[in-house]
């Protein structure tokens, strides 16, 4: 074998080793599709530029991500509820990331502009079934478009409102952000999803929520204080305390650049 051939093979081996090393320094995310679409793509891009860490990003729901984390199929999961005692007992650890508010939306053709918390409760409990009761589309039944059953958006709303199951006039989407597209297509629908998924979108109408006889805007102050009642804390979950690149990423999200990504996406800062 000539010296030239040996040199070429050596260079090739070094390049392959370097590529493999980079590939191994990767973070696999799974879980909340809301966090995935609104935060993770931008955060991963900036973090990769700074640290050279690549990401494998997937998402569906909070419960799905936790399942994948327990199976060792991801390094960090994202979601919108605290871990259960059983999940903690299996070694999972939660890190508070930020706050999320629920936006209630209707089709742009719907004349309704605001809704009271009592009316929302009535709709989701099946006590209000026609838009006539809200001065909406005359003679039309209300169609509820819901986040998936395993999502934190569904489970937390169920707890806040206090319903056992949604009424018959309901449909569930496969991922929470898809509520927006469905409402856009249904003139008589009402749905809820993360305010970050709406965030200035003009294709649907954001309903102004009246709670305790006062119109409460979705903003940092009202969400942090709890004055806006429809909200959740978003978490990153890890198996054991975060270490290595995952810890660096979570620390990055707590820092100035990460916080800017969070607020720009339409989420809110936790204490």
pTM: 0.82
* Residue 64 covered by a domain: yes
At 160-196, the pLDDT tens digits run: 999 999 999 899 999 999 999 999 999 999 999 999 9
b/e sequence 223-260, b meaning 16+ C-beta within 10 Å: beeeebbbbbbbbbbbbeebeebbebbbebbbeeebee
Q: What residue ranges of the chain have pLDDT lower than 70?
A: 1-24
The total number of structural domains in the chain stands at 2
The per-residue pLDDT for 256 is 96
d(CA 154, CA 12): 52
* Residue 89 covered by a domain: yes
**Environment class of residue 109 by beta-carbon count within 10 Å: exposed (0-12), middle (13-18) or buried (19+)?**
exposed
Q: Residue 36 is part of which domain span?
A: 3-99+233-265
Listed residue (101, 85, 111, 78) closest to 230, CA to CA: 101
The per-residue pLDDT for 169 is 87
| Alpha helix stretches (DSSP H) within the chain | 3-24, 33-35, 41-51, 62-70, 85-89, 117-124, 152-161, 179-185, 195-198, 220-225, 244-254, 256-265
How many residues appear in the chain?
271
The CATH number given to whatever domain includes residue 151 is 3.40.190.10
At 56-65, the pLDDT tens digits run: 999 999 999 9
């Amino acid at each position: 074998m000539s010296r030239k051939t040996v040199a070429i093979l050596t260079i090739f081996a070094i390049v392959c080793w370097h590529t493999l090393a980079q590939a191994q320094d990767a973070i696999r995310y799974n879980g909340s599709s809301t966090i995935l679409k609104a935060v993770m793509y931008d955060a991963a891009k900036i973090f990769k530029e700074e640290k050279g860490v690549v990401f494998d990003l997937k998402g569906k729901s909070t419960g799905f991500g936790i399942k994948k984390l327990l199976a060792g199929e991801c390094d960090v999961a994202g979601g919108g509820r605290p871990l259960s005692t059983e999940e903690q007992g299996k070694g999972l650890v939660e890190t508070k990331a930020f706050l999320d508010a629920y936006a209630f939306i209707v089709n742009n053709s719907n004349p309704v502009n605001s809704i009271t918390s009592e009316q929302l409760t009535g709709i989701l409990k099946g006590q209000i079934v026609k838009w006539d009761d809200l001065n909406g589309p005359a003679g039309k039944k209300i169609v509820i478009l819901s986040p998936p059953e395993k999502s934190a958006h569904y489970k937390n709303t169920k707890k806040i409102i206090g319903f056992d199951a949604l009424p018959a006039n309901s449909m569930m989407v496969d991922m929470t952000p898809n509520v927006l597209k469905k409402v856009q297509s249904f003139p008589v629908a009402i749905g809820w999803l993360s305010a970050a998924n709406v965030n200035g979108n003009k294709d649907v109408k954001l309903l102004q929520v009246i709670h305790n006889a006062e119109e409460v805007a979705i903003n940092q102050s009202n969400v942090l204080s709890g004055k806006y009642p429809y909200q959740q804390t978003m978490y990153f979950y890890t198996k054991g305390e975060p270490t290595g690149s995952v810890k660096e990423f979570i620390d990055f999200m707590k820092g100035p650049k990460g916080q800017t990504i969070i607020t720009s996406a339409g989420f809110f800062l936790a204490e």
